[in-house]
């Protein structure tokens, strides 16, 4: 199986430092691993909440958007 090439996503350095603190002793080996985990979780949530809609046509409901905002805030992103 071929590995997909990676892309770079830029985040503010203070956020990166906060992620480093959050993941200490958490089992995540890097901030990148943590961010990938969080993004996969969010995408999976959207996909399972709207299974009959094509991925490019999915939209968050206001409730889902607020839940995402709250999760990101709790994780230190906002």
49: its two tokens: 């909440």
For residue 10, is pLDDT > 80?
Answer: yes
Helix/strand/coil (H/E/C) assignment for every residue in the chain: CCCCCCCCCCCCHHHHHHHHHHHCCCCCCCHHHHHHHHHHHHHHHHHHHCCCCCHHHCCCCHHHHHHHHHHHHHCCCC
Task: Please state the pTM of the whole predicted model.
Answer: 0.56
Reported confidence tier of residue 58, pLDDT bands at 50, 70, 90: low
Write down the pLDDT at residue 25: 86
Mean pLDDT, range 23-50, rounded to an integer: 85
pLDDT tens profile 25-38:
888 999 999 998 98
Write down the pLDDT at residue 27: 87
CA distances from 46 to 25, 37, 54, 56, 70 (A): 29, 14, 11, 11, 15
- For residues 76 and 11, the model is more confident at 11
| Domain map (residue ranges) of the chain | 13-74
């Amino acid at each position: 199986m071929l590995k997909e090439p990676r892309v770079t996503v830029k985040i503010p350095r203070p956020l990166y430092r906060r992620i480093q603190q959050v993941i200490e002793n958490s089992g995540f080996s890097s901030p990148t691993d943590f961010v990938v985990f969080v993004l996969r979780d969010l995408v999976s949530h959207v996909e399972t909440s709207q299974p009959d809609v094509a991925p490019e046509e999915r939209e968050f409901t206001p409730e889902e958007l607020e839940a995402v905002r709250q999760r990101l805030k709790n994780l230190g992103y906002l």
